Amino acid sequence: MIRLSILGSTGTIGKNALDVVRAHKDKIQLVGIGAYRASKELLEEVKEFRPKFVFSVETPTKDWLDEVSKYSKYLDEEEGLQAIIENSDRILNAISGTSGIKATYNILKAKKILLASNKESILCMPNLIRENLDLVIPVDSEHNAAFELLKSHKTVKNLYITASGGPFREYSKEQLKTVSKEEALKHPNWKMGPKITIDSATLMNKGFELIEASVLFNIPLERIKILIHPQSIVHAIVELENGSFIANMSLPDMRLPIQNAIFYPEMVNYTFNRLDLTYISCLSFEKPKRDLFRAIDVCEWVASMGNPYVSVLLGADDKAVELFLEGKIGFLDIPVLIENVLSSVNFHIEENLEDILRAVEFGKNKLLELSNHRM
């Protein structure tokens, strides 16, 4: 039995992970779950799966706590995270955004296996990740696909990761000026949370994944290529030294990479929808429009600079997406404000948790300040 815990169990990745747990109850013991809110949704998960531990960042009501206590031991965030780490074999960090940095740090410091869905923590702690690569199993569809390919093929010239292009792939700059929150949240292929969906629309998510791939696989940025692939069937491609290309393909369903990560290196039967190659009429690839979607260039520059720029970028993007979702800034304001925040960095940090979180907060606060000046 794999002793598994899920951080961010009420989010999209967390829910998909629970689908995998349901399908393999004979192989997985769910030790603990955690979420930001002490919500009805979290309570229903507790009732169904009855994990040993449950925690929330938000303080629960007495009635909620009384109900949860019938099934699981409730702990506050700090105690809950510690208990989960101590009692689990593998921990899926599916916490969204920069809020997941601390969990990754604590998991790896405890030398437990990290199922890495929170990309922000990988980006801002590259040394910790590289020192513990044997404990890190990527969950992102592109990185899990690349992980499989790179384990099997050693003479790799280039790695390609794909992006759907988001809902605005064919938009002009004039059209992008007026896009709404509702339009940006309509991802053409994937069902995701609001933060990553907006990051996918701006291509910031793909810029993050470029840096993530470099950290996880120790490949220079210039050998990692981004391809726009609207069908979201091919998730990663390796180009071998002999000139051949090998692709990893599946339906755009996060349950596959999650299951792969939970059971790695074992490969177990996949019981959800499978790809039928006879239904694919076209697989197309194109270069990203960097002049319209500046996030990729920003991420490449930030990666070349390292910290504190990486951590500041993560904080600034968190805040920019929040403000966009609140209707306080426009879609094209996101990269502009982030670049302005990065140009204001004038300090250095060490790669420790306190300094990293301080840089993240600087990014958030500076972006809010600059956005207020624009109003």
CATH for 367: 1.10.1740.10
Encoded amino acid at 208, one letter: F
User: Going edge to edge, which strands form the sheet with 245-249?
Assistant: 224-228, 156-163, 234-240, 245-249
**Residues 318 and 272 grouped into a single domain:** no
Q: Are residues 77 and 144 in the same domain?
A: no
Residue pair 121/139 in contact (Cβ under 8 Å)? The answer is no
Mean pLDDT of all residues belonging to the chain? 95
Same domain, 176 and 33: no
Rounded CA separation 151/212 (Å): 17
Query: For residues 323 and 329, what is the distance between their CA atoms, to the nearest angstrom?
Result: 6
State whether the Cα torsion 166-171-177-178 is positive or negative: negative
Tens-digit pLDDT profile for the chain (375 aa)? Answer: 999 999 999 999 999 999 999 999 999 999 999 999 999 999 999 999 999 999 999 999 999 999 999 999 999 999 999 999 999 999 999 998 899 999 999 999 999 999 999 999 999 999 999 999 999 999 999 999 999 999 999 899 999 999 999 899 999 999 999 999 999 998 777 677 889 899 999 999 999 999 999 999 999 999 999 999 999 999 999 999 999 999 999 999 999 999 999 999 999 999 999 999 998 889 999 999 999 999 999 999 999 999 999 999 999 999 999 999 999 999 999 999 999 999 999 999 999 999 999 999 999 999 999 999 775
CATH (domain of 39):
3.40.50.720
Residue 188: what pLDDT? 74
Alpha-carbon span 174 to 37, nearest angstrom? 39
How many Cβ atoms from other residues are within 10 Å of residue 282's Cβ?
7
Rounded CA-CA distance 202/197 in Å is 9
Q: Are 137 and 147 a contacting pair, CB within 8 Å?
A: yes
Return d(Cα 109, Cα 86) in angstroms, integer. Answer: 11
Helix ranges (H only) for 50-180 are 62-68, 77-87, 101-109, 119-124, 126-131, 141-152, 173-176
Q: Which residues of 201-232 are buried (b: 16+ CB within 10 A; e: fewer)?
A: bbbbbbbbbbbbbbbbbebeeeebbbbbbbbb
Q: Is 313 within a domain? A: yes
Please give the structure tokens belonging to residue 49: 């799966």
The residue range of the domain holding 164 is 140-253+267-293
- The closest of 351, 357, 360 to 127, measured between CA atoms, is 351
Q: How many domains does the chain have?
A: 3
Same domain, 172 and 284: yes
Nearest to 254 by CA among 87, 133, 370, 142: 142
DSSP β-bridge partners for residue 224: 159
134 with 144, same domain? no
Residues 288 and 316 in one domain: no
Show the CA angle centred on residue 148, arms to residues 140 and 133, nearest 5°: 70
pLDDT in tens, 334-368: 999 999 999 999 999 999 999 999 999 999 999 99
Would 287 be classed as within a structural domain?
yes
